[in-house]
Structure 1
Amino acid sequence: MKYRYAISTEKGTREYNQDRAACLEGSDSVLLILGDGLGGHAGGDIAADILVDTASQAFLKVRTPVIEEPSLFLALILQHTHRAINRYAKKSTKKIDPRTTAVLSLIQDGYAYWAHAGDSRLYLFRNGSQLTRTLDHTGSDQAKVGGRGIPAKTGLYNCIGGPLRPKISLGPEIALQHGDRILICSDGVWQGMAIDEVSEYLYEENDLEDSMDNMLEKIEQRNPEICDNVTVVALAWDDKSRPGKSMQHEQIRDLTDNELWRAARDAEKGIRSNARAGIHAKKQGSRSKAYSNAGTAESLDSVINEVEQFVEQWEKGK
């Protein structure tokens, strides 16, 4: 895979920067991560930290070069993060209510997949123009596609962490073309600059990181009185080879907890079956700091942990 990526962040006029972002590279895949900790809830930065750590841990645990259920993988990460945040808050000696938005994007074999919750966005650009973007979990953005019973005046109604189960929206499988750009960003970015101008920065001939730094500085300059945290993870796709095997064909959809539970069970069976068949695995990294413990027997966390433990035991015996 041939690509370039850049991460840039500024705190704007806020006292603290509660945005977090990361890019993890595997041998045949890359994972982009961004979380915007909710400032109206104590511990937003903690929630965003847990998102990055949980997603990193999950990605680095993958031993096979290709993730066979990309969207399920991303959705499970966000569900696992939600529980990890709530467990952390429950155990904390301080009164906190950590919550965060989340965007994850997995690129492998020339395809892009993504999952999100909240109003941080993913944009895909082609030939210098916006091809698609995620739909915010706000009343105003949902109203553009019929509203689904959500009043247009409703603000952000969905996030990772907190008492409500998150709704996880998945993007379709997109075959990338040479010259495509992927941008994930916090709301301070898309609120602070027109998307056409964002595209111009993405396609500059300058170093991608320099372009992103300059873009965020421009947003801050335009909003000297009130400027939110602004954070981007940008990826320029420079690969001219044809995409590999398609892994899925479903359209954009939302996953419920029950669907994830059933899918996790199927994934567990698949891992056990593959292990018995002797499929070779490749280690991509080491585990990062964990914030979570195993859940109850009836929780999704227990399935994830059971799968992780089985894979670890299997690899130790190889």
Structure 2
Amino acid sequence: MNFDTASLTGRGGRADNEDACDWTAGGGLTAWVVADGLGGEQGGEIASRLAVETFLESFRLDPFLSSEALLSYVAQADRTIQVRQAADENLARMGSTIVAAVCDGQRLRAIHLGDSRFYWFRRGKVFFQTKDHSLPQALCDAGIIAPEEVRSHPNRNVLLGCLGSPDRPTPSVSPEWEIEPGSALLLCTDGFWAPLREEEMEGTLLHAANAADWLARMLELRHQREPALSDNDNYTAIGVFAGGIQSPKD
């Protein structure tokens, strides 16, 4: 199966962009990765870059789709960050989220740690999305706040797991699914998804001619939001059309 892949990133209202993203192919598989360096900590940009580069390097050396393989790629990314932390006291508190997906053209699996998200759209609708490792998501799971409150919660950026943490939290790995032509994938940092509702992601997907067009349409909506929601964070996203470029709906 062919994949039409596009990406975008921006610093938003911040002085620096601490996000990173990339993708690669090897051994008949394709891997996509997005990472968000922890804001406010020195070295966030370094942490996210190390996360993406190490994950993809580990994948290229031993490309597999199993949950064990994906966990090993993330573990290696975490070790790389931990080694860099120990070598430079100025980087001792750096960290990063990570979200990745791997596909062999027929089967798909995703992994994440933190609040960067993976969305899988089937037949134009959200079929699966990851659950954040964050305080607001925990409050939502406990029934204390509603799902729609996660985006605007005052403690939205309080993470319960990330790369570089001394607690060494366990990433969440999705089931393995069969992927069909016409599916779309979205991997993105919280600065991208937070200002957008899932139905808006679906609506822009319906009219998009390709992955780049889809991302551009979502970015335009993001920029239309109130500054408190959209302009105070870096934003990064990878969009993927499975089966190549599709025919948009009028």
- TM-score bin (small chain): 0.7 to 0.9
Q: Retained in 1: the 8 A contact 2:95–2:165?
A: yes
**What is the aligned partner in structure 1 of residue 173 from structure 2?**
170
2:232 aligned residue: 227
Q: Normalization by structure 1: what TM-score?
A: 0.67
Matched, 1:92 2:95: no
Q: Decide which structure has the larger Cα Rg and report it.
A: 1
Q: Residue 49 of structure 1 aligns to a residue in which SS?
A: helix
Alignment of 1:229-308 (within 5 A): 229-238=234-243
% identity of equivalent residues: 29
Distance 1:205 1:85 in 2: 37
Supply the distance in 2 between the matched residues of 1:205 and 1:229 (Cα, whole angstroms).
24
User: For 1:108-119, what aligned pairs fall within 5 Å after superposition?
Assistant: 108-119=104-115
Task: Give the deviation of 1:96 after TM superposition.
Answer: 4.0
Distance 2:17 2:92 in 1: 17
**Counterparts of 1:136 and 1:190 in 2: how far apart (Å)?**
12
Report the counterpart of residue 282 of structure 1 in structure 2. none
1:200 corresponds in structure 2 to: 203
State the partner residue of 2:248: none
Which residue of 2 is the match for residue 248 of structure 1? none
| Separation in structure 2 between the aligned mates of residue 7 and residue 28 of structure 1, nearest angstrom | 21
> Which residue does the alignment assign to 1:57?
57
- Where structure 1 has 5 or more consecutive residues not aligned to the other structure, the ranges are 240-318
Letter in 1 for 2:103: I
Q: Is the 8 A contact 2:121 2:128 kept in 1?
A: yes
Query: What's the Cα RMSD here?
Result: 2.2
| SS of residue in 1 equivalent to 2:132 | coil
- The alignment status of 1:123 with 2:119, answered yes or no, reads yes
Q: CA deviation at 1:27?
A: 5.0
Number of equivalent positions: 231
Tell me how far apart the structure 1 counterparts of residues 27 and 242 of structure 2 sit (CA, whole Å). 16
- Residue number in structure 1 paired with 2:67: 71
Query: Are positions 1:137 and 2:133 aligned together?
Result: yes
Matches within 5 A, 1:146-165: 146=142, 155-165=158-168
By how many angstroms is 1:173 displaced? 0.6
**Structure 1's 106 and 55: CA in aligned 2 closer, same or farther, altered over 3 A?**
same
For the 8 Å contact 2:210–2:241, the answer to whether it is kept is no
- 3-state SS of the aligned residue for 1:50? helix
Deviation at 1:221, TM superposition (A): 3.6
The structure with more strand, counted as a fraction of residues: 2
CA–CA separation in structure 2 for the residues paired with 1:237 and 1:207? 10
